[in-house]
Structure 1
Amino acid sequence: DSVYRHQIAADIRPFRGLLLGLFFVSVGMQLDLAALLEQPLFVLGVVLSLIFVKAIVIASLAPFSGLDARTAIRTGVMLAQGGEFAFVLWSAAGSIGVLDNDASRILIVSVAVSMALTPFLFMLLDRFLPATSASTALSIVNEPESIEEIEDHVVVIGCGVVGTQVLLQLRERGVPVLALDRDVAKVSQLRRHTEHAFFGDATQPDVLEMIHIERASAVVIALDDPRQDLLVVGVLHYLFLDMPILARAHDEAHGELLKKAGATTVIPEVIDTGRHLVDALLLGGSGNEKVFETDG
């Protein structure tokens, strides 16, 4: 549970499909179906023993992590199949002579069969042991608000002086807020005020998806880099056409560029920019207004 988790997940997502494909190709190359056809009952016995023993062990240990009996049993069954590392282990054991070739072949095909049975185990679980119960439903209701549950909130992109001012004023007025920034130090400071402050690059659509920005009621952009402001506004406007986007302009020319990029409300950089952004937001900054006025 790290402030970096959304950025990390977005960065590794392109490699996930490639690595999964490589994994399944390697499994297919190691799988010897002849072993299954030669000794089907023995393989079935190994598979059932693996699933039974692993399910019992996991279900027995799960309550020590605070899980109730129903959830512990479901967890044990869902994790009872052989793991990917077993292919590496049995292959290595066979290659160095710890296991003979026949034993290695049978163990590898048994792990593959246990994986293939996983969807059917899930079907049996859903039929005979549904996930929801009165106790689990109550525990979910009593859990503290998480990023998976927050909605109709304001996303503040940029946690500098202005962004922090916006976040604190919105929190004082009871508005839920989520903050995003690429500066680790700024995110760490904001964590003192809200648990919903994360490290991430707002120009990456995958990061925006990870923080569920589609659930937000509006986005406030208060980055210190004018070019980064324009990039973020452009990405947001392209992905979420109807999303109210309020942005801090560094000067009038920058404000015009922000409007063209898709910002619905632009606030000039004055002493009290944060207050202007909050006021514009709470007054319904979803139109095409442009605020270019200073105090005094």
Structure 2
Amino acid sequence: MNAQFDIRSDSTQISFEASDNAQLSRLLDEIARNEALPAPAPENVFVGDGDYRAIGLEYLGHFVHIGGLKPTHRVLDIGCGIGRMAVPLTQFLDPKTGTYEGVDPVNEGIEWCVQNIASAHPNFRFCRLDVAHELYNPGGTMAGDQVALPFAGNSFDFIAMVSVATHLPAKEITAYAREVMRLLAPGGRLFLTAFLVDAEDLSRPTARPRFIKGEEDGTWIADPAAPLGAIGFDNGVVQDILKRSGLDIQRVSFGHWRGIGSTHYQDIIIAVKPE
């Protein structure tokens, strides 16, 4: 029998069993209807197109269904942006045993999260990582391929990297993979999204973005004027980076960017730190 967890919103308390799809569906519906949850002004959202609350809620479902996230997990959100994933997680993670840490290079996003999320949820914390990125933080003091996250080893059960590898060169993904391996507890999971490009993907007229060859072998870009705006890799490249860091690939789920039916847009990789 699976343990029961109480998930509290501002207006109600929901008993949730981690493996029960019906219970999860009810929780997602309750979060969607909770107008008290914070959301930034649309003009301040820098983490991509689409509905802020709807995308965060969608990914909470993916975290649970595809990634195996549990309410008691210690979560690290690399590239937390302006709290799009964090807001629905406040209603999912157990306030006594579940924890959340969010890091991002964009100071405005971190400040918003501290003021609007951490102030009401003591188990949620945010910090700025001053890592250089030509689009998001060009003046950063830390080189992307030398990234070091300010946490002790084996501190997390679940690490999310949503729309992070889609904006990084391979050498920087390698640096993050090294840190993920250090920070995950044995048995802990990485949930990473990427564009994993196969030759047949490029021939589908409904594929978006429309990738062209990048300058580096095995890379694909959507806009030559901003190569890191959306970067893809030959299918297998990102998985090999993760495996070289010591992680085991548990699952790869292809997204509908490539013009196929899927419940999610980007491709998802679940990698596990060996016990």
- Highest RCO, 1 vs 2 (Cα 8 Å, sep ≥ 6): 1
Greater strand fraction, Structure 1 or Structure 2: 2
Question: Which structure has the larger Rg?
Answer: 1
Per the TM superposition, whether the score is higher than 0.5 is no
TM-score, structure 2 normalization:
0.36
Greater helix fraction, Structure 1 or Structure 2: 1
TM-score, structure 1 normalization:
0.34
